[in-house]
Structure 1
């Protein structure tokens, strides 16, 4: 047992105003729903686009369903937000003719980057066509996207004030916020000071993740290239290492002498491979999802890769690894390099 004064500083509670939860070592949670609702409304109602045809502006936030919260775990801020939004907009021509329309944003959440968020603009039922619709779809959508960026930024700065409690010396520790994506990370069971709400949702520590995309072309058919990825002997040939590949839905695989492991979740011959995929050095239990799509290009095959849940610090390493050890390895081993024109 440690002597008095020599214990882990995370558990020191004396000389503190609150005397509990030192450095927020346990979960603390703050509901950001009401604040977010007011912030989003003010940002949307400021949207106004104008050109030679007239002006378009958001006149009402007709639907704002969802929630937002911030959790502090071991000094790291973890953000959750999910909103389904509908807006009303009005366009006015230079001659005074008015048109009404709607904007729908069904998927504003921490799982998606702003550039990935769908923003749908339309005219109200029975409204005649107008050039103002194009103005709203271009400049109006751009301003709405900027409003979303502003909301996310202020949520992670302005609203987080005070989330990091004072230390034993009365100073504050403000580590950089860590955005996370739902469903991408392993969960750690909490005890002790964890709230009942958190327990019921099995909320745990999450790590920052990202998405990667790659595209490449191979001088072979989709059928042949598909077989390269799921045939053990062919995998061993292009990786130049021992491998275990069970080519069935739910089948396991192990590549590069165990450095890469995973499981096939979907296999559609010639068209699609989906898998759970992880690198050995990643946090224990954390897996990414990899999707490979094969497109027939008249004698060549175009492959689209999308990886989600990649640990943020492993982004470049993972992208380069797929390009080098998979794509380039396959081309060099089987002669599938694209034609040179």
Structure 2
């Protein structure tokens, strides 16, 4: 279970359970982790050559049985490639904030891809490959970092639970978003609740739902992204590309009537209508809504001169869920897509 400082609960060995505070400096391990995971990665005609300018601190500790991960670091990846004409191209990818706050808030890790060699149309194309293909392929290692940190280092703080179990719990608790609330909160609540309290909560929710009808409202969210409409449509509807911004497997078939599942089954529904590449209508719901109740999500894409406007209009949102649903659309849809490097500016 993770909190504002990345707190993860674990079972402590008997001798160490009441130890007040113990820490381990995991900065050297972290630098080596990212070097091994990222250097040598390639996509199409580009590859990562080295990791440089690593700065920051990573600390693993426990306080009265609570395992705590606190980290804030930055580094640069040097990349290279060859143009179709055989010219060598070099560049960098800077990651300015690899921190527990990014993980806790379930944001995408920001990055900036650039050229260090002479710029040309061909070299810029390679830089686009780095931004749109190479870096998204690296991000799963960032999302798995906290779980790996715990699995490999918790034993040094007296934790005796299975590293495999710890890795799985930490991963699901920090990287799976859920609509309306964070999936980290949902997963943590589910794993920490006893069967009796879960049964009681479910019964209470069922009685509440039966006692009143659902009053609903509409939530609208929009943003401009520096990507062509056809490419954005692909990111939103192709099951092989959806995980690039949701950070989770997707079940998605673009046929009216077919069912879909996103964010590790934390958003489900069905396809109502398709007007590619400009409009998609879906029946949509997170698990905390009243059983059987769906909203209608209309996704609209409008290409402008230098960007594409993404508009999300969700009708049928329970009034008590309005604020959380708006936050979820902002964080998991909009921020997830922007985490791929799609800010505002020229179309890519």
TM-score, normalised with respect to structure 1? 0.42
- Where relative contact order (Cα < 8 A, 6+ residues apart) is larger, the structure is 2
Task: Please state which structure has a larger fraction of its residues in helix.
Answer: 2
Q: Which of 1 and 2 has greater Rg?
A: 1
